[in-house]
Chains A and B, each alone.
Chain A
Amino acid sequence: MSVIKTEKLTYVYGEGTPFRKTAVDNVDLEIGEGEFIGVIGHTGSGKSTLIQHFNGLLKPTSGSVFIDGERLWDDKDRLRAIRFKVGLVFQYPEYQLFEETCYKDIAFGPRNMGLSEDEIDKRVRETARLVGISDEILEKSPFELSGGQKRRVAIAGVMAMEPKVLILDEPASGLDPKGRSQILGLIREYHKEKRNTVMLVSHSMEDVAKHCSKILVMNNAGVYCFDTPAAVFHKADELEKMGLAVPQITRVFNRLRAMGCDITDDVYTVGFGKDILINALSAERKIPR
């Protein structure tokens, strides 16, 4: 069964004003349990708007959202329970830190769930370990930390709620390359360890190429395609026309093919590309000219 399902989901900002803007237009989606979904699309394509429907923060202008088969907004009192099921990490989540210590901040979500102190403590320490926050940092004020550390504490705050679905909106934006790979790495770790559904929103293909089981491409408020990475990057030309940069390694291979080399067109990670190149080169050497 699918954890998230949408039917003709449409959302309009500023209905009835001159600034009316359809941000999500007639989206039908189905996301299976345990999947690792990458969501890409250029800025303003409606990614953030779409994901805010999955935990009932935005009410669809028309259409419906189902979580675990339950239709959202039928019963408003259920929304809070849904938010514990679908955890959403906003873009720049460090701006929502507010407690005296990192420990208390990570505990905010679990405490709202009404868990016992023991359970809260267990979850805070476990997620802190997962995101690489030491016990020493846990006792510090979040406002003393570096940008990357703050970001990790904020993400831990949602992870500690152990949601069935974890959605992250551009979790790596505004960080340096080391911070980026750290954040993306810990999200991967989380998925591997928990086997929960994860949705990773990004405008960079490079971020989502490696580890997603499926990629959702948004374009102009609609779903452009929703498929495996191989199938998506197969459409490299169209993606580039939409202003999305395909991974550099895919570009290299596409150029090679354009130059007449006989190699596959589904290369999107450097490791895979390396193997293909080595094979191709050694095959070439064996053939005597």
Chain B
Amino acid sequence: MLKDITIGQYFPGKSPIHRMDSRVKLVLTIAFIVMLFLAGNIYSLIVGIIFTIGSYLISSIPFRMILKSVKPIVPIIVFTSLLNLFFIRSGVVLWEWKFLKITEGGVNTASFMTIRIICLIVGSSLLTYTTSPIDLTDGIERLLSPLKIIKLPVHELAMMMTIALRFIPTLIEETDKIIQAQKARGADMETGSIIKRAKSLIPVLIPLFVSSFRRAEELALAMECRCYHGGEGRTRMKQLKMHLVDLFAVLIVAAFIAGVVAVNSIT
């Protein structure tokens, strides 16, 4: 059914990583990506792997979530590793068949790239697993707030994102209900030509649009009744505050980046 689609992949918990400030998490995720790209040889990549595994252990996110985050990119991984495997020609030839050739250099690069991509995806998924969508948009808003100087409507963008996130599940539920109701009136959405099927969506889409507009109007009215007037001078119920955890996290990431750089010189 439609509602099985999960929006956002927040996995509630109480680990130190969950408790971190979302701004710090955002910045550290970027730092983590930089760390992976700094890793130039297999040893420094191992440092990156240790960091990724360590963060997961601390976050107590179940193992199957890791698999879930990797699943969508499996085709990309397979494709790039095949390219690397067959087209990089350096070092000892390991296997040869007609025009195909696998060399040691190819194997090395392929496995290096694969591990790096997996680390990248798994590591940055941790951000969305441990941060609720609302906290995330809050964090993004704060981080981008300097851009207000160049007249970028940062608060309004963040508010739009928050509202969208809030209403996606509601709209999915509503779509489900309308589909059921039209099916009860004999609407046939599963058989027939493409044109017929597209036409059969009209009885679903029109009520959906009507109710979205109604909701938007009601929401706008409710916000106005509470004197909402944009981000100017607005205070927050939930203050973002740095804690000791955040300081520790920053230090740990810094140490790992230093480690990667140091290990890079070993060859």
Contact A98 B180 (CB under 8 A): no
Contact A88 B184 (CB under 8 A): yes
A-B contacts, 27 of them at CB < 8 A, read A52-B180, A55-B184, A57-B180, A57-B184, A80-B186, A83-B184, A83-B185, A88-B184, A89-B184, A90-B177, A95-B178, A95-B181, A95-B210, A96-B178, A96-B182, A96-B203, A96-B207, A98-B202, A98-B203, A98-B207, A98-B210, A108-B187, A112-B185, A112-B187, A113-B186, A158-B184, A161-B186
The distance in angstroms between the C-alpha atoms of A123 and B9, with both chains bound, is 49
User: Shortest beta-carbon distance, B180 to chain A, in Å?
Assistant: 5
Contact A161 B206 (CB under 8 A): no
Contact A112 B188 (CB under 8 A): yes
Q: Is the interface of B mostly helix, strand, loop or mixed?
A: helix
The distance in angstroms between the C-alpha atoms of A55 and B181, with both chains bound, is 11
Cβ of B183 within 8 Å of any chain A Cβ, yes or no, is yes
User: Shortest beta-carbon distance, A95 to chain B, in Å?
Assistant: 6
CB-CB < 8 A to A96: which residues of B?
A: 178, 181-182, 185, 203, 207
Contact A95 B207 (CB under 8 A): yes
Contact B188 A80 (CB under 8 A): yes
Cβ of B211 within 8 Å of any chain A Cβ, yes or no, is yes
CB-CB < 8 A to B181: which residues of A?
A: 90, 93, 95-96
Cβ of A222 within 8 Å of any chain B Cβ, yes or no, is no
The distance in angstroms between the C-alpha atoms of A229 and B211, with both chains bound, is 38
Cβ of A97 within 8 Å of any chain B Cβ, yes or no, is yes
Contacts of B152-185 to chain A: CB distance below 8 A: 174, 177-178, 180-185
Contact A57 B183 (CB under 8 A): yes
The distance in angstroms between the C-alpha atoms of A84 and B174, with both chains bound, is 23
Interface size on A, residues (CB 8 A): 23
Residues of chain A having any CB pair with chain B under 8 Å: 52, 55, 57, 80, 83-84, 87-90, 93, 95-98, 108-109, 112-113, 143, 157-158, 161
User: Shortest beta-carbon distance, A168 to chain B, in Å?
Assistant: 11
CB-CB < 8 A to A52: which residues of B?
A: 180
Given A55-B184, A112-B187, A158-B185, output 8 extra A-B contacts at Cβ < 8 Å. A80-B188, A83-B184, A96-B181, A96-B182, A96-B203, A96-B207, A108-B187, A157-B185
User: Shortest beta-carbon distance, A218 to chain B, in Å?
Assistant: 20
The distance in angstroms between the C-alpha atoms of A113 and B174, with both chains bound, is 25
Check A143/B210 contact, CB under 8 A, given A90-B177, A98-B202, A98-B203: yes
User: Shortest beta-carbon distance, B12 to chain A, in Å?
Assistant: 11
User: Shortest beta-carbon distance, B256 to chain A, in Å?
Assistant: 34
Q: How large is the interface on B (under 10, 10 to 19, 20 to 34, 35 or more residues)?
A: 10 to 19
Contact A98 B185 (CB under 8 A): no
User: Shortest beta-carbon distance, B3 to chain A, in Å?
Assistant: 9
Contacts of B188-221 to chain A: CB distance below 8 A: 188, 202-203, 206-207, 210-211
Chain A, Cβ-Cβ closest to B185: A109
The distance in angstroms between the C-alpha atoms of A16 and B181, with both chains bound, is 26
Check A108/B203 contact, CB under 8 A, given A95-B211, A143-B210: yes
CB-CB < 8 A to B186: which residues of A?
A: 80, 83-84, 109, 112-113, 161
CB-CB < 8 A to A90: which residues of B?
A: 177, 180-181, 184
Chain B, Cβ-Cβ closest to A154: B181
User: Shortest beta-carbon distance, A52 to chain B, in Å?
Assistant: 7
- Interface core residue of B180, B186, B211 (most chain A CB under 10 Å): B186
User: Shortest beta-carbon distance, A124 to chain B, in Å?
Assistant: 13
Contact A83 B182 (CB under 8 A): no
Chain B, Cβ-Cβ closest to A143: B210
Chain A, Cβ-Cβ closest to B211: A95
CB-CB < 8 A to A57: which residues of B?
A: 180, 183-184
The distance in angstroms between the C-alpha atoms of A90 and B187, with both chains bound, is 15
The distance in angstroms between the C-alpha atoms of A143 and B211, with both chains bound, is 11
The distance in angstroms between the C-alpha atoms of A87 and B210, with both chains bound, is 24
Chain B, Cβ-Cβ closest to A160: B185
Chain A, Cβ-Cβ closest to B214: A95
User: Shortest beta-carbon distance, A146 to chain B, in Å?
Assistant: 15
The distance in angstroms between the C-alpha atoms of A143 and B213, with both chains bound, is 13
The distance in angstroms between the C-alpha atoms of A95 and B178, with both chains bound, is 8
- Contact check: which of A88, A97, A113 meets B207 at CB < 8 Å? A97
Q: Which 5 A-B pairs have the closest CB atoms?
A: A112-B186, A98-B206, A109-B185, A96-B181, A88-B184
User: Shortest beta-carbon distance, B110 to chain A, in Å?
Assistant: 36
CB-CB < 8 A to B174: which residues of A?
A: 95
Chain B, Cβ-Cβ closest to A87: B184
CB-CB < 8 A to B210: which residues of A?
A: 95, 98, 143
CB-CB < 8 A to B182: which residues of A?
A: 96
